[in-house]
C-alpha cells in the first residue's frame, strides 16, 4: 500500500476544542503505526485507499479527521472529528463513522474503540435517561437509604407459561426482591405470549406490593421489531406497568432511539446481550464503556455493566470505570443505575458491595431460583446477605440466625471465587 495516500491526517500539535470535536480513542496494532493511524482517520472521515479527483479543498480542510495523539509504543491513537461530520440525533451514523469500516482495514491488525467524548451540543440531540437512577430510587423508596436494589430474572430463561412465570415473579417479590425482569431471550413465544405474561405478572406485583408494603418493579422484555416494541411498550404502560426491558444491542441503537423518543415515561432496563461479541476481545472491537455511553446518551435508566464476582467476564477495573461513568455528571444527562448480574448468588453479595458499593441493582437468577428452598427463600437470602454486610457482621455469623442465608452458604459457599 502506498503510504502517501494517508499522509496529511497526522497533526501532532493539534489541540481539539472539546466543544467542536468528537474525540475517539483507539487501541490498535499495525506494522506501520503512523500510517495505520492516518488510515483510520481517513477511512472514518473523508478518505479512501487512493487519491480522489473529486476531493475538494473545503472537504479535506473542514471534514478530515485529525490524528492528534499517537503513542506508537502503546498502540494508542486519539482522533478528532469535526462535529459537522455527525448528523444530530443519529447514532447509527455516529457508529458508521467512528466504529464502521475501520475495524476491517488491512492497515490494522487489530483495532478497539476504547472511549470517546462528544460536545455538549451534540448530546443535546438526544433525550438521555427519562427517569434515571434517582428516579428509580424514588419509585422504590430507597433514595434516603441508598441501599442496592435486589433483582431477579425469572428462570428457567424461557419455557414457563404466563401463570407459572407470574408465580415465580410473585415469590421473588414476596421474598424481598425489588425488581423482577424477563430473561433476554424471552419475547412472545407460543409458550408465553407477551400480553398474558405482562398482565399476570403485574397482578402478581400488585399482590406482592400489598402484602409486603414495598414498591416493586417488573421489566417485561419488549425486544422485537421496532414497531412491535412500541406496541408492547404501550401495552405495558396501559396495563399499569412501571418498567420496560430492551436488549439494546440485538435490537440496535436506532430501535432504542425510537423506543426512547416515544416518551413512554417508563424506565428502560437495558440488557446488553451480544455486546461481548465485540467487547470481550481486549484488542479488537468496541469496549463496553463506549457502548454504555451511547446507551446513556440515547436514554436508558438501568444498564447491565458487569457483575465482577459472577460468571461473566467482567474485570473489576473495567466495571468500576463504567459504573463511575454511568453515575457521574456527564453532559447534563441523568445518571444510569448500573446492574450487576450473571452468576451472582447471595454469598457473593458482600464481596460485590465491598468492591462496587451500593449504587447497584444486584440481579440474581440462578442465585435465587436455585436456592434449596426455592425462590422466596433465595430472595430472602439475597437481602440477608446485604443486611449482614450493611451491619458489618460476617456472613457466616449472620447466617447462624438466618436460615435462608445459611442454606445458600451450604449450597454455594464453596464456589470458586473468580474475581
Count of residues binding ligand CAP (CB under 6 A)?
20
Whole-number CA gyration radius for the chain: 23
Q: Which does 306 bind (CB under 5 to 8 A by kind): ligand CAP, Mg ion, none?
A: ligand CAP
> Whose Cβ is closer to ligand CAP: residue 197's or residue 304's?
304
Residue pair 108/36 in contact (Cβ under 8 Å)? The answer is yes
Chosen residue from 38, 242, 341, 347 binding ligand CAP by CB under 6 A: 341
Task: Report, in Å, the least distance between residue 201 CB and Mg ion.
Answer: 16
Strands of 268-271's sheet, edge to edge?
Answer: 217-219, 179-181, 149-153, 361-363, 337-341, 302-304, 268-271, 244-247
Using alpha carbons, select from 298, 286, 303, 326 the residue that is nearest to residue 91: 298
Least separation in angstroms between residue 190's CB and ligand CAP is 21
Catalytic site residue from 66, 149, 269, 271: 271
* Least distance in angstroms from the C-beta of 186 to Mg ion: 9
Q: How many residues bind Mg ion (CB under 5 A)?
A: 2
Residue 183 sits in the site that holds Mg ion (CB under 5 A): yes
Examine residue 184 and tell whether it contacts Mg ion (CB under 5 A). Answer: yes
The one catalytic residue in 11, 33, 155, 411 is 155
Contacts 24+ apart (CB under 8 A), 167-172: 167/204, 168/369, 168/375, 169/201, 169/204, 169/205, 169/218, 170/204, 170/205, 170/207, 170/208, 171/374, 171/375, 171/376, 171/379, 172/368, 172/375, 172/376, 172/378, 172/379
Residue 156 near ligand CAP by CB under 6 A: no
Binding status of residue 153 toward ligand CAP by CB under 6 A: yes
The answer to whether the peptide bond before residue 156 is cis (omega within 30 degrees of 0) is: yes
DSSP string, 44-74: TTT--SS--TT--HHHHHHH--EEEEEETTT
338 binds ligand CAP (CB under 6 A): no
**C-alpha cell at position 285:** 472491537
Task: Tell me the closest approach of the beta carbon of residue 390 to ligand CAP, in angstroms.
Answer: 22
Per CB under 6 A, does 411 bind ligand CAP? no
Q: Work out whether 299 is an interface residue with ligand CAP (CB under 6 A).
A: no
Q: Is 183 in the site for ligand CAP (CB under 6 A)?
A: yes
Q: What cell numbers appear for 318 in the block?
A: 473495567
69 tagged catalytic: no
Mask for 352-381, x = binds ligand CAP (CB under 6 A): ------------xxxx--------------
Query: Rounded to an integer, what distance in angstroms lies between the CA atom of residue 27 and that of residue 14?
Result: 20
Is 25 a known active-site residue?
no
Residues that bind Mg ion (CB under 5 A): 183-184
Residues that bind ligand CAP (CB under 6 A): 153, 155, 157, 183-184, 272, 304, 306-307, 311-312, 314, 341-344, 364-367
Catalytic residues: 155, 271
Amino acid at each position: 500500500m502506498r503510504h502517501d495516500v494517508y499522509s496529511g491526517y497526522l497533526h501532532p500539535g493539534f489541540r481539539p476544542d472539546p466543544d467542536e470535536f468528537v474525540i475517539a480513542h483507539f487501541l490498535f496494532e499495525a506494522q506501520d503505526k503512523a500510517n495505520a493511524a492516518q488510515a483510520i482517520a481517513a477511512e472514518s472521515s473523508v478518505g479512501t485507499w487512493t487519491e480522489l479527483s473529486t476531493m475538494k479543498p473545503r472537504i479535506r480542510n473542514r471534514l478530515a479527521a485529525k490524528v492528534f495523539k499517537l503513542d506508537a509504543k502503546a498502540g494508542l491513537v486519539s482522533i478528532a472529528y469535526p462535529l459537522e461530520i455527525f448528523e444530530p440525533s443519529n447514532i447509527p451514523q455516529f457508529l458508521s463513522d467512528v466504529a464502521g469500516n475501520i475495524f476491517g482495514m488491512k492497515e490494522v491488525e487489530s483495532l478497539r474503540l476504547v472511549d470517546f467524548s462528544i460536545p455538549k451540543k451534540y448530546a443535546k440531540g438526544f433525550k438521555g435517561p427519562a427517569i434515571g437512577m434517582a428516579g428509580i430510587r424514588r419509585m422504590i423508596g430507597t433514595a434516603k437509604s441508598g441501599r442496592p436494589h435486589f433483582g431477579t430474572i425469572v428462570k428457567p430463561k424461557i419455557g414457563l407459561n404466563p401463570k407459572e412465570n407470574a408465580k415465580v415473579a410473585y415469590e421473588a417479590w414476596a421474598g424481598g426482591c425489588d425488581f423482577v425482569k424477563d430473561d433476554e431471550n424471552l419475547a412472545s413465544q407460543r409458550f408465553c405470549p407477551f400480553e398474558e405474561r405482562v398482565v399476570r405478572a403485574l397482578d402478581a406485583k400488585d399482590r406482592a406490593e400489598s402484602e409486603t408494603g414495598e414498591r416493586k418493579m417488573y421489566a417485561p422484555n419488549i425486544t422485537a421489531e421496532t414497531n412491535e416494541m412500541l406496541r408492547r411498550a404501550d401495552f405495558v404502560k396501559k396495563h399499569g406497568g412501571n418498567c420496560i426491558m430492551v436488549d439494546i444491542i440485538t435490537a440496535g441503537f436506532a430501535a432504542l432511539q425510537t423506543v426512547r423518543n416515544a416518551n413512554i415515561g417508563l424506565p428502560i432496563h437495558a440488557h446488553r446481550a451480544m455486546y461481548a461479541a465485540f467487547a470481550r476481545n481486549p484488542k479488537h472491537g468496541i469496549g463496553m464503556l463506549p457502548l454504555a455511553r451511547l446507551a446513556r446518551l440515547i436514554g436508558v435508566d438501568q444498564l447491565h455493566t458487569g457483575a465482577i464476582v459472577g460468571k461473566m467476564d467482567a474485570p473489576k477495573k473495567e466495571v468500576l470505570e463504567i459504573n463511575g461513568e454511568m453515575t457521574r455528571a456527564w453532559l447534563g444527562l441523568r445518571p444510569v443505575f448500573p446492574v450487576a448480574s450473571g452468576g451472582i448468588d447471595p454469598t457473593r453479595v458482600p464481596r460485590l458491595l465491598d468492591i462496587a458499593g451500593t449504587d447497584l441493582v444486584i440481579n440474581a437468577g440462578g442465585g435465587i431460583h436455585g436456592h434449596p428452598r426455592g425462590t422466596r427463600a433465595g430472595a430472602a437470602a439475597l437481602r440477608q446477605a446485604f443486611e449482614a454486610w450493611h451491619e458489618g457482621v460476617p456472613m457466616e455469623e449472620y447466617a447462624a440466625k438466618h436460615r435462608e442465608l445459611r442454606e445458600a452458604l451450604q449450597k454455594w459457599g464453596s464456589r470458586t471465587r473468580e474475581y
